[in-house]
Structure 1
């Protein structure tokens, strides 16, 4: 009876540790930011091709609003800067999470070994 209780406790601990591994959500966010940086860099390249007297329009809701080329250029650069900073922050968070994940994997492996040892002990009885 004590071994079944110990087995249940170990299985519960194993499930808890396995549920703590949530890195994929941060990878999705990082992917989204990476796409946004690429899009904004493309916009910046297009803005660089324009002459200084070119008309630039910004979409605000359903309306196109005329914008100064220098202002548009500055806005896009700031956006790239902001998104790049977010990417760096996410990278640091992901690295920390991966380190924690590796330590949890070790814990899960040890719990699995204990479960197998308990199961092997039951099989002999």
Structure 2
């Protein structure tokens, strides 16, 4: 029976490690989105100080290309909306992963307890000589 429990423990440990990796990846993605959000909000603030006479340029590779001010503002708005939606989606994913990770951690603790309990009960059954 302990072999079955040990097998379950191994499987649960691998699943827990996979969840840790998924959680780490989601956290990194969330951090990247935070940086993008901050950068785009800063660009949006800069737009507020522009007059209609100011020219706007977009960096495409190594080249600055003139861009219509209205189009540039619209693009930043769309980018901000997209980033905020992605952040919301990731927040749901992070909450789900945290919940799954906690359930798996409790399963691991339970399996380890069962294995220890079996080891103690079988070691106590051996008569001392």
- Measured against the shorter chain, the TM-score band is 0.7 to 0.9
Runs of 4+ in 1 over 6 A off after TM superposition: none
Structure 1: segments with no counterpart, 5+ residues: none
Deviations 1:55-81 (A, max 9, x none): 111011111101111111111111000
TM-score, normalised relative to structure 2: 0.84
Query: Who is 1:35 aligned against?
Result: 35
Aligned twin of 2:18: 20
Name 1:49's counterpart in structure 2.
49
Q: Counterpart of 1:23 in 2: which secondary structure?
A: helix
1:13–1:114: structure 2 CA closer, same or farther, 3 Å change rule?
farther
TM-score in terms of structure 1 length: 0.86
Deviation at 1:103, TM superposition (A): 1.6
The number of aligned residues is: 123
Is it true that 1:66 corresponds to 2:66 in the alignment?
Answer: yes
The root-mean-square deviation of aligned C-alpha atoms, in Å, is 1.8
Conserved? CA contact 1:57–1:65, under 8 Å: yes
